[in-house]
């Protein structure tokens, strides 16, 4: 029988949440799990994940590789590659907890590494670029191996499942950091698999994303011209690489990168003062194929900060709350109120308006 209006609920699709402590205080991982679990109905169990910053202080100068393996053969091939290019200081399985809701898990390993001095010197690349190229090469050329986290003093934890089950599986209550992001997935065009869950990450940048971008193909073709490989065929992967390209390679500010991805309309630019008009005209013209169209709300995590951004028309919900040194961002207000009922302020940012929070100077000095 055909269901009528009101007899079935169509979810808005995906949930995102973020917590950030501007004073650098350490937030237990179970706080972000509580937040994202409130929006359970926005996902369908085909993907959940978290990114935490400041979680590996004892290895903060090393890149933390989190890697999925489909087989022992893939693990052997990947570790052979790592041994040839990196000094592997520590390696182990990522601790997990048996959870009935999480099934068919791959092999999940963690490596704390630094580029071998001789390899880095002969490459004539920066440490970040050397590591970035190595990650892309592993994901592109070693079948059955997927590096899903590769930053310093941060880590991504993701799986197929509801986010609260993913948090239990990875024992997130045992971690603490100054910044957390979370995602509950409701895939529309792609199947749920472990690598396709959010966050997507490259080096210190991580992305959680609610929405669907219609410019994927143009964005993918453009970003692959600069050496990136979009093997996962999802829009969130492309967004991650675009941010890495604009921020790390083009040395843009966060606001400039936001103005490329969620560029103002031409009629808005026309009414800006001359200096602003010149800047935004240049960004829209020079990076036109990196403009993201379609509905989206995203959280960009990075070392020392967090940025939230909506599409220009704000076709996806997102609210920002503040309490003292804490900033909370989520798809729904309830996900903030569940962990901080008494807020100093709460607001819904305008479409295309970046919300940027960073560690204060004292906290940065202690990192």
Q: Across 9-18, 30-39, 41-50, which has the greatest mean pLDDT?
A: 30-39
Residue 367 reports pLDDT greater than 70: no
> Is residue 9, in this structure, part of any structural domain at all?
no
CA 196 to chain centre: 12
Find the CATH number of the domain harbouring 232: 3.60.20.10
Task: State the pTM of this model.
Answer: 0.94
Please check whether residue 5 lies inside any domain of the structure. no
In a domain, 84, yes or no: yes
**In-domain check, residue 10:** no
Q: Is the pLDDT of residue 191 over 70?
A: no
- Decide if 2 is inside a domain: no
Residue 262 placed within a domain: yes
- In-domain check, residue 7: no
pLDDT of 4 higher than 50: no
> Do 32 and 163 form a contact (C-beta atoms < 8 A)?
no
Q: What's the average model confidence in pLDDT over 198-223?
A: 94
Average pLDDT over residues 325-347: 97
Residue 361: the pLDDT is 77
Q: How many domains does the structure of the chain reveal?
A: 1
**Could you give the angle at which helices 254-261 and 274-286 cross, rounded to 10 degrees?**
60
Mean pLDDT of 211-238: 91
In which band, very low, low, confident or very high, does the pLDDT at 10 lie, cut at 50, 70 and 90? very low
In sequence order, which residues have a C-beta less than 8 Å from that of residue 104 and are 6 or more positions away? 160
Q: Select from 238, 197, 200, 198 the least CA-distant residue to 216.
A: 238
pLDDT given for residue 1 in this prediction: 42
Number of H helices, E strands in the chain: 12, 18
Task: Return the pLDDT at 162.
Answer: 95
Which pLDDT belongs to residue 232? 80
How far apart, in Å, are the Cα atoms of 254 and each of 83, 94, 98?
A: 35, 32, 40
Q: pLDDT by residue (tens digit) across 90-114?
A: 999 999 999 999 999 999 999 999 9
Residue at 6 is within a domain = no
For residues 245-256, average pLDDT: 98
Domain span including residue 331 = 15-365
Distance CA 281, CA 270 (A): 9
How far is the C-alpha of 303 from the C-alpha of 280, rounded, in Å? 26
pLDDT, tens only, 277-324: 999 999 999 999 999 999 999 999 999 999 999 999 999 999 999 999
Catalytic residues: 14
Q: Can you give the pLDDT at residue 364?
A: 65
């Amino acid at each position: 029988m055909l269901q009528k209006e009101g007899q079935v609920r169509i979810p808005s699709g995906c949930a995102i949440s973020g917590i950030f402590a501007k004073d650098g205080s350490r937030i237990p991982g179970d706080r972000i799990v509580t937040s994202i679990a409130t929006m359970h109905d926005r996902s369908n169990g085909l993907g959940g994940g978290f990114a935490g910053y400041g979680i590996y202080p004892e290895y903060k100068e090393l890149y933390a590789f989190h890697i999925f393996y489909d087989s022992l053969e893939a693990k052997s091939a990947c570790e052979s590659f790592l041994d040839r290019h990196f000094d592997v200081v520590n390696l182990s399985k990522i601790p997990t907890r048996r959870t009935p809701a999480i099934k068919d898990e791959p092999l999940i390993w963690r490596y704390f590494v630094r580029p071998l001095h001789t390899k880095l010197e002969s490459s004539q690349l920066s440490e970040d670029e050397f590591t970035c190229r190595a990650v892309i090469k592993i994901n592109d050329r070693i079948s059955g191996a997927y590096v899903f986290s590769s930053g310093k003093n941060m880590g991504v934890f993701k799986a197929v499942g509801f986010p609260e089950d993913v948090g239990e599986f990875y024992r997130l209550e045992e971690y603490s950091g100054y910044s957390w992001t979370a995602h509950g997935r409701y895939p529309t065009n792609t199947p749920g698999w472990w690598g396709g869950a959010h966050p997507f990450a490259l080096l210190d940048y991580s992305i959680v994303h609610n929405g669907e971008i219609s410019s994927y193909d143009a964005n993918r073709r453009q970003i692959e011209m600069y050496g990136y490989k979009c093997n996962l065929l999802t829009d969130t992967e492309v967004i991650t690489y675009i941010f890495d390209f604009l921020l790390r390679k083009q040395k843009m500010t966060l606001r400039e990168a936001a103005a490329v991805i969620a560029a103002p309309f031409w009629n808005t630019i026309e009414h800006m003062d001359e200096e602003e008009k010149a800047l935004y005209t240049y960004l829209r013209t020079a990076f036109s194929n990196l403009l993201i169209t379609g509905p989206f709300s995203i959280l960009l995590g990075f070392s020392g900060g967090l940025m939230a951004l909506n599409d220009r028309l704000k076709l996806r919900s997102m609210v920002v709350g503040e309490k003292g040194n804490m900033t909370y961002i989520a798809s729904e207000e309830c996900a903030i109120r569940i962990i901080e009922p008494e807020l100093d302020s709460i607001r819904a940012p305008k479409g295309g308006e970046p919300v940027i929070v960073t560690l204060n100077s004292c906290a940065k000095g202690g990192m």
